[in-house]
């Protein structure tokens, strides 16, 4: 296995890596502080499209994690960037929350239910039968079907909730049309994020708690990958997949010292899979 280049930019998932059920994971505050002290480009990523980056900044700050707005990248922002590249100034019928509608407004999209270019499905706590019926009819009439992410369930205090992927499956059954998913594990989300901070995949690392989204997306984007065991994946789960992470660590606390400060530039970086 070829020696990797030093890591000069970091991408990290949020839920299961930095926070768990609204509580910071031990070491997350030290990791974020180290990133900010280093001056290295970094992003905190989430497939959740409900919140704007400004919302997430405020939520994380209340937990003691000071992540600037410009260092937060969501599946809603990745979706908006994709649509702006595909059809600038287009129109969309949107099922989702402020995180998604704000991202589309910011790129100049018009949100409409009259002959839209796209039907865009995101996360919401209030999926309406009327809205889903409208989406199905618009897709059957020729609108392209886009989804922010393929996650089938999302967490809540009461247990799992149906998420975008599950609702997308319902629409696909009704229309025969598969959506294009912009969020993880699509490496598009990673590449647009890297472009946003001026980073390159060869010198970037992705930290996540899921093999099927975080590690796969990082791998396909050409990045080093770190799997933490504070989320959904256990050591026993790793061998179920035909691919593996570059490194496996117990938690984000184990990665603090790998973030190089300016006076550490000449020190060796992480090598092969642990």
What span, in angstroms and rounded, lies between the C-alpha atoms of 170 and 218? Answer: 28
What span, in angstroms and rounded, lies between the C-alpha atoms of 52 and 29? Answer: 21
Tokens of 15: 């839920």
HEC-encoded secondary structure of the chain: CCCCCCCCEEEEECECCCEECCEECCCHHHHHHHHHHHCCCEEEEECCCCCCHHHHHHHHHHCCCCCCHHHEEEHHHHHHHHHHHHCCCCEEEEECCHHHHHHHHHCCCEECCCCCCEEEECCCCCCCHHHHHHHHHHHHCCCEEEECCCCCEECCCCCCEECHHHHHHHHHHHHCCCCEECCCCCHHHHHHHHHHHCCCHHHEEEEECCHHHHHHHHHHCCCEEEEECCCCCCHHHHCCCCCCCCEEECCHHHHHHHCCCHHHCCCCCCCCCC
Q: Just list the catalytic residues.
A: 13, 15
Do the Cβ atoms of 118 and 179 come closer than 8 Å?
no
């Amino acid at each position: 296995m070829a020696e990797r280049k030093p890591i000069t930019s970091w991408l990290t998932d949020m839920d299961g890596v930095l926070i768990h059920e609204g509580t910071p994971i031990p070491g997350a505050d030290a990791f974020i502080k180290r990133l900010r002290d280093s001056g290295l480009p970094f992003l905190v990523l989430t497939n959740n499209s409900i919140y704007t980056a400004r919302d997430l900044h405020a939520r994380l700050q209340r937990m003691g994690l000071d992540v600037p707005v410009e260092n937060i990248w969501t599946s809603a922002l990745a979706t908006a960037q994709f649509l702006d590249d595909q059809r600038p100034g287009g129109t969309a019928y949107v099922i989702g929350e402020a995180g998604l509608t704000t991202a589309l407004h910011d790129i100049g999209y018009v949100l409409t239910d009259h002959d839209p270019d796209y039907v865009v499905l995101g996360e919401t706590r209030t999926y309406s039968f009327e809205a889903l019926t409208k989406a199905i009819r618009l897709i059957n009439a020729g609108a392209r079907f886009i989804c922010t992410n393929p996650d089938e369930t999302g967490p809540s205090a009461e247990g799992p909730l149906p998420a975008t992927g599950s609702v997308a499956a319902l629409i696909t059954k009704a229309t025969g049309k598969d959506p294009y998913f912009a969020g993880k594990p699509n490496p598009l989300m990673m590449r647009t994020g890297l472009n946003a901070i001026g980073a390159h995949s060869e010198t970037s690392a992705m930290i996540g708690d899921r093999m099927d989204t975080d590690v796969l997306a990082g791998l396909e984007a050409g990045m080093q990958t770190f799997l933490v065991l504070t989320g959904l994946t256990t050591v026993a789960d790793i061998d179920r997949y035909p691919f593996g992470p570059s490194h496996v660590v117990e938690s984000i606390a184990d990665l603090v010292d790998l973030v190089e400060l300016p006076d550490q530039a000449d020190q060796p970086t992480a090598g092969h899979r642990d």
